[in-house]
């Protein structure tokens, strides 16, 4: 049995901060139902437009293992149907912009009136209080506001945009964790509650180390260090054939690591080189030490260098690009790459979910087409007849699941 078997989630999320949260819950076994506008659905469906416009690769990345119902909440009947669904679910999640939920009359007070046990989860860029509460936010805005830009880049350059979308997905997994805590509490008390998370505040969790060790309790800005990770020779090194991602990153942070690195390089002479014998010496002669290591890595591919250095007990990794992730022998050996047959895209590899529970197995299922499960859900959850569903569709209250088939 899946860990979250029996948990039912109403998912009114879009793009990534919310969808990453609900996908994590779905991958743990929750029944997640996306509520989407009939005309266009989750706007993430159209990011990097596909021919069918509702099934972009971006959307597929964050919406596996979900079902979709196309329902127009701006209509009286659509809103009424939604409110009928609420008592049948444990969790409601949304990440709309400021004021949208209030305009739709689906705030915590409205929904808890019909389901006192509901967990009402809200993801907002800057929260619902404070001077920035009404500001619009997206991933990189949250990262900029949380200090991530300020610690990314070269020391003599400007703040730089980080490559990963931690502002969105990093917030989403924190919300998923909070929902699970509220769900456990509900098992004891029977009561629901409201959860709010600010993307800005969530992002500070991922800059916490740099903030605490380099900002002197907030009295100075942590510096940018580029690829140099502190004590030389921690850094990134080029490898043959010297393509844009042919690099290896090394983190020999202890004396044992350093001894292992020099031994792997077959450079016993460096072990007794007076320039590199002490921490102070390695700082003072960091450029020379970098050249010694670079000369060695430059004669090998990043995979050859990684295998040799890792075998010596030194923390290191080839810098895989996003294409190589899908073919990496280690990820494939662990079953992390899933082959999926998707509408529009055909047979493609999809990255999996990192947590592995020994007593809970959930197979990856393809993301839903817009409104794909509308009819079945209205029948199973609300007991509507075929004639009633046809009437709703003719009135534009629900979408046509066959539209994108």
Query: What would the DSSP string read from start to end of 53-117?
Result: SS--HHHHHH-TTEEEEEB-TTSHHHHHHHHHHGGG-SEEEE-PPTTHHHHTT-SHHHHHHH-TT
Cα–Cα–Cα angle for 162, 215, 316, nearest 5°? 50
User: Structure tokens of 280?
Assistant: 């102070």
Catalytic annotation present for 168: yes
User: Structure tokens of 349?
Assistant: 């590899």
Q: Do the beta carbons of residue 195 and residue 178 sit within 8 Å?
A: yes
User: Structure tokens of 293?
Assistant: 């290591």
By the 10 Å C-beta count (0-12 exposed, 13-18 middle, 19+ buried), 399 is classed as buried
User: How far is the C-alpha of 375 from the C-alpha of 38, rounded, in Å?
Assistant: 13
314 closest CA partner among 269, 267, 256, 354: 256
Positive or negative CA dihedral for 289, 295, 296, 300? positive
Identify the DSSP state of 369: P
User: Structure tokens of 398?
Assistant: 């629900």
Pairing of strands 337-342, 346-351: antiparallel
The order of strands in the sheet holding 235-238 is 235-238, 247-250, 316-318
Catalytic, out of 168, 266, 273, 387:
168
Q: Which residues are catalytic?
A: 168
């Amino acid at each position: 049995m899946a860990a979250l078997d029996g948990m039912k989630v109403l998912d009114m999320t879009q793009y990534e901060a919310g969808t990453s949260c609900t996908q994590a819950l779905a991958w743990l076994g929750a029944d997640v139902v996306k509520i989407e506008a009939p005309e266009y659905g989750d706007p993430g469906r159209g990011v990097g437009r596909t021919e069918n416009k509702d099934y972009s690769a971006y959307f597929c990345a964050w919406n596996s293992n979900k079902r979709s119902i196309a329902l127009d909440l701006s209509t009286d009947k659509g809103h009424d149907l939604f409110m009928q669904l609420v008592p049948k679910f444990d969790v409601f999640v949304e990440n709309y912009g400021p004021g949208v939920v209030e305009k739709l009359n689906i705030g915590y007070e409205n929904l808890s009136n019909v389901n006192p046990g509901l967990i009402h989860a809200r993801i907002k860029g800057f929260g619902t209080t404070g001077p920035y509460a009404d500001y619009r936010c997206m991933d990189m805005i949250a990262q900029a506001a949380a200090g991530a830009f300020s610690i990314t880049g070269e020391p003599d350059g400007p703040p730089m945009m980080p490559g990963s979308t931690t502002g969105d997905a990093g917030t989403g997994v924190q919300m998923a964790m909070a929902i699970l805590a509220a769900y456990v509490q509900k098992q004891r008390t029977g009561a629901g509650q409201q959860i709010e998370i600010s993307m800005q505040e969530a992002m500070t969790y991922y800059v916490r180390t740099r903030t605490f060790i380099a900002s002197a309790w907030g009295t100075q800005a942590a510096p940018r260090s580029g690829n140099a990770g502190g004590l030389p020779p921690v850094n990134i090194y080029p490898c043959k054939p010297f393509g844009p991602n042919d690099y290896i990153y090394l983190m020999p942070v202890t004396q044992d690591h350093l001894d292992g690195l020099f031994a792997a390089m077959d450079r016993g002479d460096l072990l007794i080189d007076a320039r590199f014998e002490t921490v102070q010496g390695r700082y003072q002669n960091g450029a020379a030490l970098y050249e010694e290591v670079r000369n060695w890595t430059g004669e090998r591919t990043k995979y050859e260098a990684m295998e040799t250095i890792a075998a010596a007990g030194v923390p290191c990794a080839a810098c895989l690009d996003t294409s190589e992730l899908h073919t990496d022998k280690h990820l494939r050996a662990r079953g992390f790459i899933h082959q999926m047959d998707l509408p529009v895209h055909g047979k493609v590899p999809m990255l999996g979910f990192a947590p592995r529970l020994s007593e809970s197995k959930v197979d990856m299922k393809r993301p839903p087409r817009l409104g794909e499960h509308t009819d079945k859900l209205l029948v199973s959850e609300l007991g509507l007849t075929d004639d009633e569903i046809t009437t709703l569709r003719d009135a534009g209250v629900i979408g046509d699941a066959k539209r994108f088939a």
